[in-house]
Amino acid sequence: MSRLALQWSGDAHRWDRQLIAGRGEPVPWMNVILSTDRGKLLWEQSSWSPAGRVRLIQSISVGHVRARLESSAFVLLLLAVGLMLALMGALQSRFRDRANPQRRLEIALRKRRFEPFVQPIVSVQSGRCVGGEVLMRWAHPARGILPPLEFIGLAEESRLIVPMSNMVMAKARDRLAPVIEAHRALYFSFNITPAQLRTPNFDKTLDRIFDEASLPRQHVLLEVTERDVVDAGSEAALRALRAAGYKLALDDFGTGQSSLASIERVNVDRLKIDREFVRHVDESTTVRPVLDTIISLAHTLQIPLIAEGVETDAQWDYLAARGVQYVQGYLIARTMAIEDFIRWIEAYHADLPEPTALGVPTPKRSPQISENITIPSDEPLKAMPKFTAEELLDEMRGLDGIEVRDRRHHLRRYPQCFVAADAVTWIASRWSVSRAVAVRIGERLTALGCIEHVASEHDFADAFLFFRFVANANDGVTSHESLPDLDAVARRLRDPDGIA
């Protein structure tokens, strides 16, 4: 009977068991005797052999579990200690990442949380906006928009400033393309760091970012600080960029350590007066020797000047009287998102003040544009090229389309994906439609199965959704007989009924 029982269940000896003969009498030498009361029955299983007229009953009770725990207390203690140490290590690693500023920057870079903002630059002679300086901001998920002073220093030390700047320039290029299309006289300046100048093939990187289809290089002004033009390598890189068609500006002029000879060798197009020389000017100021010397030197070199940090009428009048050509500062407008800048420039030029008797226009104060101002949604739909969904996806994948980024730091199953906000910007720029129409077209493409949401990469703490192209979307979508012409889709979005 013992052999039969063990043959039926090799693990029977681990638990409470009973062997019952044909008459229902238990066989005592096959039962496990517990030192404690069995207590509540947790599990029971029986098997019956008609040939041998033997039933084997196996059960697990509270008493059995207690006995097993008591006999294995040392092993369980070691296991608990090991799990506790592993948990503490994981928590420590997570807290260390959060406490490490560089690690936070790396995470923000991977999640594309650095955004381009613009501060307008205005001509003192005409009062009109001639362009803007593109500045980097950190869109922190908890603290909101952070200024550069909180992260630029660390970004330069860790060399994260190079990919951060490249990403911000690419975002600004796509979002400023419709502005350049509507205002061909504008230019936009971008700050270039020493780390970028020392990066091999930096000129080729800029060529990939700025192209004729979006933001041509003749509308780009590259700003370098005076302290960066101190070695032959930097000078050579700047001369190569200028030869390629980019305009150059020397930022924070008067605060660095470069020589006038190096300025002449680089042949810059603009000099920017640092705000420290401007902020001390008030109504009682009649002369500022250092500021006046900088202005006189620029006139001698025949290089136009841009004064930063202009915040009062007195500062405007002082600079205008001495022939400074361009100004930027809170007197004109605060730094704003590009979407706000697009609305701001139209409103700013709508009612420019008349020039004074001396021929100098009165400065027009313009605080940051209200978020309540919206572009009318019933604007006439501009003519769009006739694209099928497949042709659109081909363009989106192309060199001039959405930049498909490698998400290898976190995304494993899908090595390539793109950000929905970039896709919307690309569609709006490519077809010159509002972002609302571009969003609906993207939603339609998603509903048709051409692109899909990468749920494992979506972080609900920030505003970005990640998508990828469906692998065989080019070969036709099997679940639909034909995809509608997207020009017709966009027009139907204008109808009162819309698209279901």
For residue 247, give the nearest of 273, 266, 225, 275 by alpha carbon.
266
**How far is residue 338's CA from residue 192's CA, in Å, rounded to a whole number?**
19
**DSSP bridge partners of 306:** 272, 326
**How far is residue 141's CA from residue 466's CA, in Å, rounded to a whole number?**
17
Q: Which amino acid is at 236?
A: A
Query: Does residue 29 have a pLDDT over 50?
Result: no
Extended strands (E) in 254-351: 270-273, 305-307, 326-327, 336-337
| pLDDT tens-digit map of 433-443 | 777 778 777 77
Contact 316, 282 (CB under 8 A): no
Torsion of CA 426, 432, 434, 435, to 10 degrees: 0
Contact 165, 151 (CB under 8 A): no
**How far is residue 497's CA from residue 212's CA, in Å, rounded to a whole number?**
39
Given pLDDT bands bounded at 50, 70 and 90, which one contains residue 479?
Answer: very low
Q: Which long-range contacts (CB under 8 A, 24 or more apart) does 375-383 make?
A: 375/343, 375/434, 377/434, 377/436, 378/494, 379/434, 381/433, 381/437, 381/490, 381/491, 381/494, 382/431, 382/432, 382/433
* 220-225 and 114-123 beta bridge pairing: unpaired
| pLDDT at res. 489 | 65
- H/E stretch holding 305 reads strand 305-307
| pLDDT at res. 229 | 66
| pLDDT at res. 10 | 45
**How far is residue 227's CA from residue 220's CA, in Å, rounded to a whole number?**
21
Query: What number is the average pLDDT over the span 268-275?
Result: 90
| pLDDT tens-digit map of 191-204 | 998 888 888 888 88
Query: What number is the average pLDDT over the span 462-469?
Result: 68
Query: What number is the average pLDDT over the span 66-92?
Result: 85
Q: What is the DSSP string of 369-427?
A: PPTT----TTPPPPP-----HHHHHHHHHSTTS---EE-TTT--S-SEEEEHHHHHHHH
| pLDDT at res. 357 | 61
Q: Which amino acid is at 402?
A: I
| pLDDT at res. 249 | 92
For residue 423, give the nearest of 441, 410, 399, 411 by alpha carbon.
441
**How far is residue 238's CA from residue 276's CA, in Å, rounded to a whole number?**
26
Tokens of 223: 């700003």
Contact 466, 418 (CB under 8 A): yes
Given pLDDT bands bounded at 50, 70 and 90, which one contains residue 165?
Answer: very high
28 vs 363, more confident: 363
| pLDDT at res. 136 | 95
Query: What number is the average pLDDT over the span 337-341?
Result: 91
| pLDDT tens-digit map of 278-329 | 988 888 877 888 899 999 999 998 999 999 999 988 999 999 999 999 999 9
Residue with tokens 């009498």: 25
**How far is residue 116's CA from residue 190's CA, in Å, rounded to a whole number?**
10
Query: Does residue 409 have a pLDDT over 50?
Result: no
Contact 55, 48 (CB under 8 A): yes
> Which DSSP symbol is given to 457?
G
| pLDDT at res. 485 | 62
Query: Does residue 452 have a pLDDT over 50?
Result: yes
Query: What number is the average pLDDT over the span 12-32?
Result: 51
| pLDDT tens-digit map of 356-402 | 666 666 666 554 333 332 333 334 445 555 667 777 777 777 666 77
**How far is residue 11's CA from residue 459's CA, in Å, rounded to a whole number?**
47
The number of residues making up the chain comes to 500
Q: What is the pTM of this model?
A: 0.58
Query: Does residue 498 have a pLDDT over 60?
Result: no
- SS3 of 121, please? strand
Given pLDDT bands bounded at 50, 70 and 90, which one contains residue 336?
Answer: very high
Query: Does residue 432 have a pLDDT over 90?
Result: no
| pLDDT at res. 45 | 77
Task: Identify the burial level of 414 via C-beta atoms within 10 angstroms of its C-beta, where 0-12 means exposed, 13-18 middle and 19 or more buried.
Answer: middle
Contact 161, 124 (CB under 8 A): no
Given pLDDT bands bounded at 50, 70 and 90, which one contains residue 121?
Answer: very high
| pLDDT at res. 387 | 64
Mention the CATH class of domain 115-350.
alpha beta
| pLDDT at res. 425 | 81
| Distance set, CA 123 to CA 179, 263, 327, 328, 396 (Å) | 18, 24, 7, 9, 38
* 305-307 and 326-327 beta bridge pairing: parallel
Extended strands (E) in 215-273: 220-225, 247-253, 270-273
Q: Which amino acid is at 273?
A: I
Query: Does residue 52 have a pLDDT over 90?
Result: no
| pLDDT at res. 195 | 85
| pLDDT at res. 413 | 55
**How far is residue 258's CA from residue 267's CA, in Å, rounded to a whole number?**
13
**How far is residue 109's CA from residue 169's CA, in Å, rounded to a whole number?**
14
| Distance set, CA 74 to CA 63, 70, 82, 83, 370 (Å) | 19, 9, 12, 14, 68
> Which DSSP symbol is given to 35?
S
To the nearest whole number, what is the mean pLDDT of the chain?
76
Query: Does residue 453 have a pLDDT over 70?
Result: yes
What is the Cα 301 distance to its own chain's centre?
Answer: 41
| pLDDT tens-digit map of 200-259 | 888 888 988 887 877 889 999 999 887 766 677 788 888 889 888 899 998 888 776 656
| pLDDT at res. 473 | 44
| pLDDT at res. 257 | 61
389-494 CATH fold: Arc Repressor Mutant, subunit A (1.10.10)
